[in-house]
Amino acid sequence: MVESNKGGKIVLIKGERGSGKTALAIGLSKSLGGAPFNSISGTEIYSLEMSKSEAITQALRKSVGLRIKESVKVIEGEVVSLSGRRIVLKTVDMESSFDIGEKMRNELDKEKVSTGDIVRIVRERGKVYKIGTSVVKKTEVVGTDTRFIPCPEGELIRIREEVQEISLHDIDVVNNKAEGYLALFSGETGEIRAEIRDEVNKKVWNWINEGKAEVVRGVLFIDEVHMLDIESFAFLNKAIEEDFCPVILISTNKKECIIRGTDEISPYGLPRDFIDRALIISMEKYCKRDLEGIISHRILEEDIHIDSKAMDKLVSISEVSGLRYSMNLLTISGLRASKRGGKVTLEDIERTFELFLDEARGVENLTAK
């Protein structure tokens, strides 16, 4: 769906706690390439600072990107000399000198540009990019980080097409007169009026029709979606019919519960008209082999050495107490073993299991008291 750039679809991931719903969503986000991915929890939309509909709208528009194509005039060549307010650049075919201002000189100093470097100067933006160093200087420069490239050919001044990626929400914020672009840095955007978004949408459609921009519909992941209320679901039902809507990926561990804001009990705690729109992915509980593979991967990530008996014990604990709990035991046991300077043993796992209670033993302990 993302590759076809078609939004307005809902995908529901259902499964028991610890069945890997969030892990699947994160895995999907990493496979999207350049498409935007935004993640929120069902509880995040409730705020005193903005309405529920505004919070959902902002989350949706953060998940829709815009690739803006722009033709920029650049000066690209090898630095022959650099002194004061003048720089001399050359290509294989020509050489020329250019006057530079104080801002441009500061940019050159910041990039540590010197004779023999290949640079790209964008005068309109006052930016300098150090592309690399001429291959002629290869014998003179010491350092593994230096990138050696041949001297450019053709004209020094050329037209270069650049692509900038920005979300629809960022454009909304910049056009919001109440806050402006400063809100991009503070994160405090507040409510954005519908009129501003309508104007932004018109501009975006004009750019698309002129071939200057391309919409990239990404993914909005809503974890614990059963925490949304009936009003939020009604708003989402309307939002998915809009032109600029991402794929909405939702997850829940509820089989059946009350829809918030009503007395109605429904599958997954979602309204039936909302479920009708969704493609449902069912996550099964991990089998022993899956648990071994996940724990082994975590052991490699944390660079922990563990013996076979301790590994078997950890897998058996994860079958009963859950994968999250066993991962925590692994980390603590790893710290215990590192102080000793050895492998994680069965004794380490049993000792940490005894000290740190899982949910079932914690509830039992609380009830007993």
CA atoms within 13 A on the CB side of 350: 6
Residues carrying CATH 1.10.8.60, the chain:
288-368
pLDDT at residue 5, rounded to an integer: 66
pLDDT at residue 212, rounded to an integer: 87
What pLDDT digit, counting tens, does each position of 183-225 carry? 545 455 678 888 999 999 999 999 999 888 899 999 999 999 9
- 60, 67, 30: which is closest to 45 by C-alpha? 60
Q: At what angle do helices 323-340 and 288-302 cross, to 10 degrees?
A: 40
pLDDT over 90 percentage in the chain: 37
pLDDT at residue 175, rounded to an integer: 85
| Coil/strand/helix, residue 132 | strand
CATH number given to 69-163: 2.40.50.360
pLDDT at residue 329, rounded to an integer: 92
What pLDDT digit, counting tens, does each position of 78-93 carry? 999 988 888 999 999 9
DSSP 135: G
- pLDDT exceeds cutoff 60 at 363: yes
pLDDT at residue 142, rounded to an integer: 57
Read off the pLDDT of each residue in 98-103 and give the average, rounded to a whole number. 86
Looking at every residue in the chain, the average pLDDT score rounds to 86
> Residue 236's pLDDT band (boundaries 50, 70, 90)?
very high
Superfamily of domain 10-67+166-283: P-loop containing nucleotide triphosphate hydrolases (3.40.50.300)
pLDDT at residue 369, rounded to an integer: 60
Residues carrying CATH 3.40.50.300, the chain:
10-67+166-283
Read off the pLDDT of each residue in 336-352 and give the average, rounded to a whole number. 90
356 vs 368, residue with greater confidence? 356
The architecture in CATH of the region 288-368 reads Orthogonal Bundle (1.10)
Residues carrying CATH 2.40.50.360, the chain:
69-163
- pLDDT exceeds cutoff 80 at 33: no
Report how far residue 8's alpha carbon sits from residue 37's, in angstroms, rounded to the nearest whole number.
Answer: 15
What pLDDT digit, counting tens, does each position of 244-300 carry? 899 999 999 998 999 999 999 999 999 999 999 999 988 888 888 888 999 999 999
pLDDT at residue 228, rounded to an integer: 92
Read off the pLDDT of each residue in 326-340 and give the average, rounded to a whole number. 90
pLDDT at residue 285, rounded to an integer: 82
- pLDDT exceeds cutoff 90 at 61: yes
Question: Is the separation of the CB atoms in 304 and 334 below 8 Å?
Answer: yes
